[in-house]
Homo-oligomer: A and B are copies of this chain.
Amino acid sequence: MKAEIPFSKDINLAFKNDPPGQWLSVLPKGCIRLSSGYPEPALVPSEELKSAVVHLLDKEKDLPLQYIGSPKIPELKEIIRKRLAARDVRVSDEELLVTSGACQAIDLVARVLLDDEALVALESPTYMEALEVFRNYTERFMDVPVDEKGLQTEVFEEMLKGRKEQGLPLPRILYVIPTSQNPTGTTMSQERREHVLALAEEYGFFILEDDAYGELGFENNPRLIKSLDKQNRVLHIGSFSKVVAPGMRIGWVAGAEELITTLNWFKKDLHHPFSQSTMAAFLESIDFDGRLKLLSAAYRSKCAVMIKALEEFLPPSVSWYTPEGGYFVWVKVAGIDTVELLPKALAAGVSFVPGKYFFLNPEEGTEFLRLSFSYAGEEEIIQGIRLLGEVVQNTMALK
């Protein structure tokens, strides 16, 4: 006899049973990985992290391996606070929580601010993992279109106005990736940043600003929405995943003290002393601003290689946004279903993520795909786009 499990909530099984990573986490051998938002192996500082952990354990012995006690844990918070201050975001120790990556920060905010009734506004398309998190808490969404200047705040304002006039519920939070958005690679203009903050104040919602790529601008890094925030309407989320190493699982969230305190109550995996202490020791051992410059230059070069290859190998009906930073190029292949295209691409030896995973309504993503220039080397990128071009041309020829 099997016991029936008394789940406390309905789970969106249709969505859960088709996770984006199902066949992309393990690729066919030799396949060029343009699907994953991973840093390039050569840009992950494994030697420096090794030195950092050796020095750390030599000096502190068991401290980073206990529940608490390593002086490196408060030092890491201090480093994050100083880096935020340099970007005009001044927060106290109580207004900052270190998390297990940005994803845990998003999840904690969702747990503390959302319930079944809550309406969540988000960019369309948006980060698929965030969509998955929000879907654990509510089924009520409001999706706002994105163009080459990011979230279309003018459209958003009309939507909000309409809802208010009709007496419909207003969003409790807006989740937005203002800089080098995932998946579109677009960056919100300064005007739109100011506009969306004014909307938050007028319509009473909170902005969850996901800044995972905010220091990887190719030319410059735009102002954080949080830096314009006078009313503590913005929860700023950051991460070391894209600029150091995702496997360390270190991110953070900064916002109103009352909210941060509450998030901390729900963060029951404690503070990952080993990982956080190692990160602090690493950051103290390097020139981090120099590292960011090096990373920006490397990803800018890789992005340029990908764009040039797209121009060379893809037919003229295919279009994309040209990114100003980050990891991704968002591509529209008019007339082709990218879910059907994927197995052919994998067979040819290149991977991408079909667009449908980034939309609330998967239908809207049919003709889109996300490419990542972060992981593959430049030669691989050229070869991968050449293969993708062939598969697209062949598919078009069959129509």
Contact = CB atoms under 8 A, between A and B. Distances in A.
Interface of A: 1-3, 5-9, 11, 16, 25, 36, 38-39, 41-42, 44, 46-47, 49-50, 53-54, 57-58, 61-62, 64-68, 70, 99-101, 103-104, 106-107, 111-115, 118, 129, 132-133, 136, 172, 201, 204, 206, 230-233, 241, 245-249, 256, 258-259, 262, 265-266, 268-270, 272-275, 277-278
B247 A8 contact: no
A113 B245 contact: no
Given A54-B50, A54-B54, A248 B274 contact: yes
Given A8-B112, A246-B65, A265-B136, A49 B57 contact: yes
B270 A249 contact: yes
A139 to B, nearest CB: 15
A268 B103 CA distance: 6
Contacts of A64: 247
Contacts of A8: 111-115, 118
Contacts of A204: 3
Contacts of A1: 230-231
Contacts of A70: 247
A269 B249 contact: yes
Nearest to A55: B50
B50 A62 contact: no
Contacts of A2: 231-232, 256
Nearest to A53: B53
A193 to B, nearest CB: 18
Contacts of A41: 61-62, 66
B258 A272 contact: no
15 contacts: A2-B231, A3-B232, A5-B206, A5-B259, A6-B113, A8-B113, A25-B68, A41-B62, A42-B62, A46-B57, A64-B247, A65-B246, A66-B245, A106-B268, A136-B266
Task: Name the 9 nearest CB pairs between A and B, nearest first.
Answer: A100-B269, A247-B273, A65-B245, A44-B62, A107-B268, A104-B269, A65-B247, A41-B62, A8-B115
A44 to B, nearest CB: 4
